């Protein structure tokens, strides 16, 4: 464990997820004893791959979860843990459930701005001990990228690929190749036996290399502070009002159509304008996974501009929503918050 002296080996933080689960009475459930179980799985890799693996320190959260139970509080807890310990390690690997892994990775990117070393999040579609499990392969890939000093950001290593954390989405519910970054190229990949990093695709110098972490308290936003509202044909102003008039709500992500289109319904647009006027931070992305939005391109979308809704361009829903949470948790003036939402902070847009 790692509370003692600085170490030259990466730190692995286990938060839960299928990777560490075992069969229980009611299905798979998170289990402890991860250090020994992980060591056994990595030992079973072919000798040459085993030999290329760095040794590591391990921090196992005492209460591993299925990542469907994560909230902004868990994102905050994890970022603080990394911020407290990262200086003692060349890199950090986070073992996490795949279901909300992209949300956590996105949130870490905003909290750990200016990162000067790798933080690599991974998990598995099958538990460590399952026949043909992807767990050891994914941890191997994550560990090898976690000791590459040219990687200076939060990334996801999964299914042979390295993706920017704040650009990635869970794309498959069963396949081992479970993550994709639809609007951003891979940061690296496994070629043959070895991980290959594409450093020219990393963040720009201004975006990395000088840690300027922002670790605000997400607690006040954790229960319903930000909502995600996907439009559908027939959505009514009354339904959107029910979301936006909730006094606990401070911001919302709207998932609109195509290139940035919404129904030309004055009542609906009026509800959005009213919420913006009350200081709620509203942003929009497209329901199309590829490409971004261009608010105002169609007359029907112009109303979003007039209602003060910000364009989230080609961001993933995970990146846009975690950015709303992050900016709303910071003590910023409304104008500055809106400016930052529209600015690329960590390669998210
Ligand atoms: N439900 C699990 C979780 O997200 C799935 C996984 O780990 O892949 O923790």
Same domain, 130 and 87: yes
Q: Is 97 in the pocket of ligand 1 (CB under 6 A)?
A: yes
Q: Is 17 in the pocket of ligand 1 (CB under 6 A)?
A: yes
Task: Select from 64, 99, 179, 318 the residue to mutate for testing ligand 1; criterion: most ligand atoms less than 8 Å from CB.
Answer: 99
CA of 79 to the centre of ligand 1 (A): 19
Q: Is residue 335 part of a domain?
A: yes
Q: Is residue 328 part of a domain?
A: yes
CA of 333 to the centre of ligand 1 (A): 37
Same domain, 46 and 170: yes
The CATH number covering residue 195 comes to 3.40.50.1170
Same domain, 242 and 189: no
**pLDDT score at 6:** 58
**pLDDT score at 295:** 84
Q: Which of 163, 189, 208 is the last residue of a domain?
A: 208
Q: Is 10 in the pocket of ligand 1 (CB under 6 A)?
A: no
170: Cα separation from own chain's centroid: 10
Q: Is residue 266 part of a domain?
A: yes
CA of 61 to the centre of ligand 1 (A): 16
- Nearest Cα neighbor of 96 from 165, 196, 180 is 165
CA of 15 to the centre of ligand 1 (A): 11
Q: Which residues contact 234 (CB under 8 A, 6 or more apart)?
A: none
Q: Is 18 a known active-site residue? A: yes
Same domain, 115 and 32: yes
**pLDDT score at 25:** 84
Cβ burial of 71 (10 Å; 0-12, 13-18, 19+) is middle
Q: Is residue 1 part of a domain?
A: no
Q: Which of 152, 181, 208 is the last residue of a domain?
A: 208
Alpha-carbon span 45 to 81, nearest angstrom: 30
Same domain, 255 and 171: no
DSSP readout, 184-250? S--SEEEETTEEEE-GGGS--GGGSSS--------HHHHTTSEEEEE--TT--HHHHHHHHT-TT--
CA of 140 to the centre of ligand 1 (A): 19
- Nearest Cα neighbor of 108 from 23, 202, 215, 35 is 215
Q: Which of 161, 179, 208 is the last residue of a domain?
A: 208
The CATH number covering residue 305 comes to 3.40.50.40
H-helix or E-strand spanning residue 61: strand 57-65
Q: Is 317 in the pocket of ligand 1 (CB under 6 A)?
A: no
Same domain, 237 and 265: yes
In degrees, rounded to 5, the angle at the alpha carbon of residue 55 between the alpha carbons of residues 51 and 57 is 165
DSSP readout, 122-179? E--SS-TTSTT-SHHHHHHHHHHHHT-TT--SEEEEETTEEEEGGG-EE--SSSSS-E
Q: What is the pTM of this model?
A: 0.95
pLDDT per residue, tens digit, the chain (349 aa), is 444 555 799 999 999 999 999 988 888 888 878 999 999 999 999 999 999 999 999 999 999 999 999 999 999 999 999 999 999 999 999 999 999 999 999 999 999 999 999 999 999 999 999 999 999 999 999 999 999 999 999 999 999 999 999 999 999 999 999 999 999 999 999 999 899 999 999 998 888 778 999 999 999 999 999 999 999 999 999 999 999 999 999 999 999 999 988 988 999 999 999 999 999 999 999 999 999 998 877 776 788 999 999 999 999 999 999 999 999 999 999 999 999 999 999 999 9
Is the Cβ–Cβ distance between 103 and 73 less than 8 Å? no
Same domain, 202 and 240: no
Same domain, 43 and 22: yes
Structural domain for 291, as ranges: 219-341
Same domain, 72 and 146: yes
Helices (H) and strands (E) in the chain, counts: 11, 16
Q: Is residue 259 part of a domain?
A: yes
* Domains: count for the chain: 2
Q: Is residue 4 part of a domain?
A: no
Q: Is residue 346 part of a domain?
A: no
| DSSP letter (8 states) at residue 260 | T
Q: Is 68 in the pocket of ligand 1 (CB under 6 A)?
A: yes
Same domain, 16 and 36: yes
**pLDDT score at 204:** 86
Q: Is 134 in the pocket of ligand 1 (CB under 6 A)?
A: no
Same domain, 202 and 233: no
Q: Give the residue, by CA position, lying nearest to ligand 1 atom 3.
A: 97
Catalytic annotation, pick one of 18, 98, 122, 316: 18
Which ligand 1 atom is at minimum distance from the Cα of 30? 9
Same domain, 237 and 164: no
Q: Is residue 5 part of a domain?
A: no
Alpha-carbon span 324 to 240, nearest angstrom: 18
């Amino acid at each position: 464990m790692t509370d003692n002296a600085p170490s030259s080996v990466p730190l692995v933080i286990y938060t839960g997820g299928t990777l560490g689960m075992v069969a229980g009475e009611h299905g798979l459930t998170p289990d402890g004893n991860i250090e020994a179980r992980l060591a056994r799985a990595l030992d079973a890799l072919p000798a040459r791959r085993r030999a290329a693996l760095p040794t590591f320190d391990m921090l196992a959260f005492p209460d591993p979860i299925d990542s469907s139970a994560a909230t902004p509080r868990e994102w905050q807890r994890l970022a603080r843990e990394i911020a407290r310990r990262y200086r003692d390690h060349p890199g950090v690997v986070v073992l996490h459930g795949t279901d909300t892994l992209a949300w956590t990775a996105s949130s870490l990117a905003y909290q750990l701005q200016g990162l000067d070393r790798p933080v690599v999040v991974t998990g598995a579609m099958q538990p460590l001990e399952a026949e043909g499990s992807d767990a050891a392969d994914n941890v191997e890939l994550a560990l090898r990228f976690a000791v590459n000093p040219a990687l200076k950001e939060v990334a996801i290593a999964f299914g042979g690929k390295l993706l920017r954390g704040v650009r990635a989405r869970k794309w498959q519910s069963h396949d081992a190749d479970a993550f994709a970054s639809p609007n951003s190229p891979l940061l690296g990949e496994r070629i043959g036996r070895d991980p290959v990093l594409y450093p020219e695709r990393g963040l720009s110098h201004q975006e990395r290399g000088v840690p300027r972490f922002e670790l605000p308290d997400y607690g006040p936003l954790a229960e319903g502070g930000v909502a995600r509202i996907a439009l559908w044909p027939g959505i009514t102003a009354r339904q959107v009002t029910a979301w936006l008039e909730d006094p606990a709500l401070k911001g919302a992500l709207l998932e609109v159509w195509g290139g940035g289109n919404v129904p030309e319904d004055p009542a609906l647009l009026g509800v959005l304008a009213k919420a913006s006027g009350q200081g709620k931070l509203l942003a929009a992305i497209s329901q199309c996974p590829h490409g971004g939005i261009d608010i105002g391109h169609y007359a029907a979308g112009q109303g979003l501009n007039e209602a003060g809704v910000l364009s989230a361009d080609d961001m993933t829903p995970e990146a846009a929503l975690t950015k709303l949470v992050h900016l709303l948790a910071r003590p910023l003036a409304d104008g500055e918050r809106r400016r930052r939402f529209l600015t690329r902070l960590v390669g998210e847009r």
